[in-house]
Amino acid sequence: MMARRIMESAASGNHLGGVPRKVVIAAVGCFAKAVANLINTTTVHNADTLLRLVTSRPPGIPLITVSNHMSTLDDPVMWGFKGFPTCDAKLARWVLAAEDICFKNTVFSYFFRLGKCIPITRGGGIYQEHMNEAVERLSNGAWLHTFPEGKVRQEDASIRRLKWGTASLIARAPVTPIVLPIIHHGFEKVMPEDYVFGRRPPFPLCNRKISIAVGEPMEFDLPALRQMALSSSERPSSHTGSQWPKTVQGGLDEAAQRYLYTTISDQIRTAMEKLRSFCKAEMKSGECSSISSQK
């Protein structure tokens, strides 16, 4: 019980005057910048859009960034490119993090909570406890990053079917978030899953090229989408589960919620896939860095 209270306290920006969080964010930010810029080369297309939305979006408007998941280093290193305020604790993102990896002991839990990570239990459903915390962060106009594919995938392949967690957060937030898709390549070479004896290397590898492509902001007309969900969804069967509360989303039943989350997820996946195809084509032509990049 005491450990739980400490963990929840660490998630607060006021914990010990905010000093531990500032120290952790600064240290992790320096690590990210070193990996992205000193020992590797990073190019970013459309970085200005990400910078603008992180630093100067309208007050109270939440931001959700979504990306593919190529390695355990994607976050925080993808924010380490030159010119990005990686070490600013106030501007730093919140991120959904796997509980079984980042929160497997007290020390890890304290560190990652200070680092603005929200623990998510794999298979725990979209209405699990800490998803409510994510909604609360969005309610306060925060920036949240998610990996909607759900797990690390190092193959050069199309974006897989997205989990519904991100879509549910978009739909549940009191103020509809701006959604920004991001696609990256190269992290699978910086931290390969199967490097030696089926294990990751103990440290990030060097002399690799990282490419990050930032898309354009997506806006969702949720009233229209909810109406479409009500009129187009099939009626629910008798096995409606307790994880699908009927009172959320303006009273949408399970079938309508499923339709709504699928529709939102499909739109995000389409945007991510278009961005992936663009980035792949530019990398092949060797022109990606000449479009709009930072190194």
Give just the sign of the alpha carbon dihedral 271, 273, 276, 277. Answer: negative
pLDDT (0 to 100) of residue 290? 37
**Quick check: 248 pLDDT over 70?**
no
Question: Going by C-beta distance under 8 Å and a sequence separation of 6 or more, which residues neighbour residue 9?
Answer: 15
Strands 178-185 and 209-214, by their bridges, are antiparallel
Give the orientation angle of helix 106-114 with respect to helix 2-10, to 10 degrees: 20
CB-based contact 278:211 (threshold 8 Å):
no
**Quick check: 251 pLDDT over 90?**
no
Asked, for residue 254, whether it belongs to a domain, the answer is: no
CATH code of 37's domain: 3.40.1130.10
DSSP 8-state class, residue 73 = T
**Quick check: 107 pLDDT over 90?**
yes
Asked, for residue 227, whether it belongs to a domain, the answer is: no
Asked, for residue 232, whether it belongs to a domain, the answer is: no
CB-based contact 157:251 (threshold 8 Å):
no
User: Among the residues of 211-253, which ranges form H helices?
Assistant: 222-232
pLDDT band at 38 (very low <50, low <70, confident <90, very high): very high
**Quick check: 144 pLDDT over 70?**
yes
CA distances (Å), 287 to each of 55, 63, 216, 281, 283, in order?
28, 29, 19, 9, 7
Average pLDDT estimate for 178-205: 94
CA atoms within 13 Å, Cβ hemisphere of 28: 24
Asked, for residue 258, whether it belongs to a domain, the answer is: no
Burial class (CB in 10 A: 0-12, 13-18, 19+), 286: exposed
Note down the domain range covering 70.
Answer: 8-220
Average pLDDT estimate for 163-192: 97
pLDDT (0 to 100) of residue 286? 60
Asked, for residue 246, whether it belongs to a domain, the answer is: no
Number of folded domains that form the chain = 1
CB-based contact 95:112 (threshold 8 Å):
no
Asked, for residue 249, whether it belongs to a domain, the answer is: no
Question: Going by C-beta distance under 8 Å and a sequence separation of 6 or more, which residues neighbour residue 192?
Answer: 71, 154, 200, 201, 205
Asked, for residue 211, whether it belongs to a domain, the answer is: yes
Tokens of 107: 């020390």
pLDDT (0 to 100) of residue 250? 66
Asked, for residue 118, whether it belongs to a domain, the answer is: yes
- 3-state SS, residue 268: helix
Average pLDDT of the chain is: 90
